[in-house]
């Protein structure tokens, strides 16, 4: 792998960002940071989806233009990603001129190729999904299964994309490339959806939706969500049908496109077909994550349980987002649904970051200062011990998990290694060795532990960049090393710390903190 291109779903700006949005973006940032440790040439795209009837209606209710609403909410998403230290390369907005111009060219090319045609249509339209639904997709009461609202019966003459033309090719691709759809338990779901696909509407009449990119050569129609929103992954790279940019040639196909499970169908089927129609290679992997619930309940404005990431940081007085980043992406196994609760948040970050990793570093450095004035003597460094082997094994395991985008499982491997090191400290009892004046053995144990902490800091960096930086600084270690060089780039002999330099890298969150906050309100 000589480059790495990762994309997120682009968020619909009909409202402000919540922790469901944050879950995906943090996960993508963690994956991206890991691969920057391994690959020189990386690219991370995110952005906002800014057209459609919901934005048009919301703007009308507020008495502002759709563009003003998009500017306001897109800025809110950017500010939230800054708070969470999401280090994207590019942020695409579907109202950007660079996007709109290319979308029109894509639409025109598909018309010229015969993949888009005009057709009178009568169907059931769900404004929440911004999609036409089949009667068989509805609940027994005739409601949209996702929004629990009755779709509107719409009769229009729209442009349609020949999705059925690519049915067999998509099915063959999925079967021939097991890595294409992840997690693997989603494959059968998509194959079943493929059996019943029909051609899809890719435009709307301006009488129904005026807020959109105009269809080329047709003043009565605007381009509908699929050609518009899905194309962002290539328009951001400078794709154009007649003259793709060098950036596009360099980074496409995407190595992984990470999206929520509710839009897997649109990416696995619609997006694949559009790319095939354009003669563009499909992404290597499309990865669908689960949802985040709040106290085991689905987020809903009507229930009042929609939580903004900024509120969590504020309520827990967290100056850095590391704890929230770590908790969110470890809240569920790969592809499964996760849950957020204040109590779980405190317990998990206290256990893993404060008690396990933070305390291990703090007490080991303090012993090094107490017994050896913060100095690692050359004779303490001996290769081939069990902790060194366990650390190298953990590095490889974490790497394998990230190769499959299993972020939670990779974090568990890091914590498991930290547990192993903690047990090693308890079993070796360096304080007892010092008391018995076995200083050589004591020094060897402390070196092994601190070298293990360096490896933990490398592996933990994608999740908790600030905590990792603190660990590197307290160890006087170089954090600017590539992942494959970690095993050989060991702590060297010499003075690495002093008493004034040592402090908790993650202070324990008070177990009564959230309760006290609620009482104060």
Name the residues annotated as catalytic: 18, 21, 126, 129, 144, 147, 298, 301
Return the number of other C-beta atoms located less than 10 Å from residue 56's C-beta.
18
Q: Angle CA(124)–CA(11)–CA(125) in degrees, nearest 5?
A: 5
Residue 142: partners with Cβ closer than 8 Å, 6 or more residues away = 135, 150, 151
Q: Which residues of 129-153 are buried (b: 16+ CB within 10 A; e: fewer)?
A: bbbbbeeebbeeeeebeeeeeebee
The answer to whether the beta carbons of residues 50 and 94 sit under 8 Å apart is yes
The answer to whether the beta carbons of residues 159 and 203 sit under 8 Å apart is yes
Q: What is the DSSP code string of 99-140?
A: HHHHHHHHHHHHHHTTSEEEEEEEEEEETTTTEEE-GGGS-T
The answer to whether the beta carbons of residues 24 and 81 sit under 8 Å apart is no
Strands 152-161 and 116-126: antiparallel
- 255 vs 43: CA distance, rounded Å: 10
- 333 vs 74: CA distance, rounded Å: 30
Return the number of other C-beta atoms located less than 10 Å from residue 241's C-beta.
16
The answer to whether the beta carbons of residues 507 and 359 sit under 8 Å apart is no
Q: What is the DSSP code string of 272-312?
A: HHHHHHHT-PPPS-EEEE--EEETTEE--TTTT----HHHH
């Amino acid at each position: 792998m000589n480059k790495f291109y990762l994309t997120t779903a682009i968020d619909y700006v009909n409202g402000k960002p919540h922790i469901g949005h944050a879950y995906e973006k943090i996960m993508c940032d963690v994956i991206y940071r890991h691969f920057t440790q391994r690959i020189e040439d990386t690219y991370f795209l995110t952005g906002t989806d800014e057209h459609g009837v919901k934005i048009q209606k919301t703007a009308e209710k507020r008495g502002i233009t759709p563009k003003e609403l998009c500017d306001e909410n897109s800025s809110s998403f950017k500010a939230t990603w800054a708070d969470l230290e999401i280090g994207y390369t590019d942020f695409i907005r579907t109202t950007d001129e660079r996007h709109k111009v290319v979308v029109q060219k894509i639409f025109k090319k598909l018309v010229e190729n015969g993949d888009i045609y005009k057709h009178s249509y009568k169907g059931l339209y769900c404004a929440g999904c911004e999609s036409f639904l089949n009667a068989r997709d509805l609940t027994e009461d005739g409601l949209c299964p996702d929004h629990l609202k009755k779709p509107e019966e719409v009769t229009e003459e729209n442009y349609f994309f020949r999705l059925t033309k690519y049915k067999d090719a998509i099915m063959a691709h999925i079967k021939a490339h097991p890595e294409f759809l992840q997690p693997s338990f989603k494959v059968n779901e998509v194959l079943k959806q493929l059996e019943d696909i029909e051609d899809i509407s890719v435009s709307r009449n301006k009488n129904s939706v005026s807020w959109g990119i105009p269809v080329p050569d047709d003043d009565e129609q605007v381009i509908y969500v699929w050609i518009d929103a899905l194309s962002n992954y290539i328009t951001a790279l400078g794709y154009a049908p007649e003259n793709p940019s060098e950036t596009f040639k360099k980074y496409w196909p995407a190595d992984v496109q990470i999206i929520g499970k509710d839009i897997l169908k649109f990416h696995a089927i619609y997006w694949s077909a559009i790319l095939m129609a354009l003669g563009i290679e499909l992404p290597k992997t499309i990865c669908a994550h689960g949802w985040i619930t709040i106290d085991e309940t689905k987020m809903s404005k009507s229930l009042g349980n929609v939580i903004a990431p900024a509120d969590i940081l504020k309520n827990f007085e967290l100056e850095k987002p590391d704890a929230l980043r770590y908790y969110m992406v470890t809240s569920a196994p790969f592809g499964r649904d996760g849950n957020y609760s204040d109590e779980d948040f405190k317990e998990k970050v206290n256990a893993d970051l404060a008690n396990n990793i933070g305390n291990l570093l703090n007490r080991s450095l303090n012993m090094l200062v107490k017994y050896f004035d913060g100095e690692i003597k050359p004779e303490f460094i001996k290769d081939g011990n069990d902790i060194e082997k366990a650390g190298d094994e953990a590095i490889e395991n974490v790497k394998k998990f990230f190769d499959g985008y299993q972020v939670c499982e990779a974090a568990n491997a890091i914590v498991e290694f930290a547990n192993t090191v903690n047990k090693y400290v308890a079993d070796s009892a360096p304080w007892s060795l010092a008391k018995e004046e076995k200083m050589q053995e004591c020094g060897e144990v402390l070196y092994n532990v601190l070298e293990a902490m360096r490896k933990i800091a490398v592996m933990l960096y994608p999740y908790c960049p600030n905590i990792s930086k603190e660990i590197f600084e307290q160890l006087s270690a170089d954090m600017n090393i590539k992942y494959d060089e970690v095993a050989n780039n060991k702590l060297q002999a010499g003075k690495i710390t002093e008493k004034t330099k040592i402090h908790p890298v993650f202070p324990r969150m008070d177990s009564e903190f959230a309760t006290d906050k609620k009482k104060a309100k």
